[in-house]
Amino acid sequence: MSQPQQLRDESDFDQLPDNIPISATIADVEEKKGFIDYFRFVVEVKTKGGSKYLIYRRYREFFSLHQTLESKYSPDDPDRPGANACVLPPLPGKIYIGNKKEIAESRIPELNTYMKRLLGLPTWLLLDDALRMFFYQTEQDSQHAPRALRRLRPPTRKVKTVKAPKMDLFSSPRAEAMFDFRGNGKAELNLKRGEVIFLLRRVNADWLEGTANNQTGIFPESFVKIIKPLPESDSEGEGGGHTYSCLRCFLLTPSGVETRDVCVQEALTIQPTYNELVSRMRNVFKVDDIALNYRDPEGDLIRLLDDEDVQLMIKEGRRQQGQVQRPVNQFPWELHVSMASDLSVYGSEP
């Protein structure tokens, strides 16, 4: 690079806003128990102004960003890029089979290299809206507390073991399982009759979060007998645990309607994909040949076929939010699950 070109590049960099990201490093991976269970990357971002913050991104968000940038800036001839084109760094490809955590861990070095090269491209690309939004710390990012930051911890030569004081478990809030309960996903705690569950907090009027057999999850209060209740603050859902939102689901069958509340570690504003909803409903009701539906304002069932239909369902649910009384942590939309071959349910009330 010639000296005038180098000086011009340095001048361009100096003129960038202080909130422009200039480096990013993956600090850890975290499992998210949403409509489907997945892992996301905890990324530490540093800006030109010297500030640091954490963002949480899935691989598919990296993939979407890369596709957007490719459509805008990839040159027709990589050997002769134009004025508004540049050669993007390669993104590690999709992996469809394998352990999700192992896949996420194996991607860390490649994604770190990808982000380093991406943020080292010409300064004008750092101003791209899609790039800035990817590295922008959203309100959800800022409110989430990371569980661990393994890759940002300084190495230590020796760890001193400190014996913790013994906890009096029988002074803790707890309950006894009165019935067996089998959870629908990793967020829900499996219970066996007679087990003691140590209570952590109340999720809503019907669900609690607790620990049993070294596993933590949520479970319906109707399946347990409270031995020692939670303190007042934790009973009101202020225990500092995960944020759970519940989706009311109906399985429509010739013999009747089965109702389930499905709780996930997602904000009420989340917009799941069609495939995520289908996968979760198959797991909840243990039926593969299903169709997803919602009710319009006239009470008719409308079948969901793709992500666009899901968006319409959520939009309609939010529009009617003030007209229907629901718990504060329940999604404003509901799913009606029918057999894919059963067309008799459409246009009739359950």
Q: Cα–chain-centroid distance for residue 315?
A: 20
Beta bridge partners of 28: 42
The pLDDT of residue 243 is 65
Most confident of 117-121, 140-144, 160-164, 182-186: 117-121
pLDDT band at 211 (very low <50, low <70, confident <90, very high): confident
pLDDT band at 230 (very low <50, low <70, confident <90, very high): confident
Beta bridge partners of 133: none
| CATH topology for the 245-346 domain | Ubiquitin-like (UB roll) (3.10.20)
Domain segments of the chain as ranges: 14-143, 174-228, 245-346
Q: Which of 22-31, 213-222, 240-249 has the lowest mean pLDDT?
A: 240-249
99: closest CA among 139, 154, 39? Answer: 39
Percent of the chain with pLDDT over 90: 26
Tokens (6 digits) for 282: 């198959």
The pLDDT of residue 170 is 56
| CATH topology for the 174-228 domain | SH3 type barrels. (2.30.30)
18 close to 48: Cβ distance less than 8 angstroms: yes
Residue 221, phi then psi, degrees to nearest 5: -65, -25
Q: What is the mean pLDDT of residues 295-311?
A: 90
| CATH topology for the 14-143 domain | PX Domain (3.30.1520)
Q: Which residues contact 235 (CB under 8 A, 6 or more apart)?
A: 201, 202, 229
pLDDT band at 150 (very low <50, low <70, confident <90, very high): low
249: closest CA among 178, 185, 200, 202? Answer: 185
Q: Cα–chain-centroid distance for residue 201?
A: 21
Q: Which of 2-16, 19-33, 277-291 has the lowest mean pLDDT?
A: 2-16
Average pLDDT, the chain: 80
Most confident of 57-71, 149-163, 320-334: 57-71
Edge-to-edge strands, sheet with 301-303:
256-264, 245-253, 335-339, 290-295, 301-303
Percent of the chain with pLDDT over 70: 82
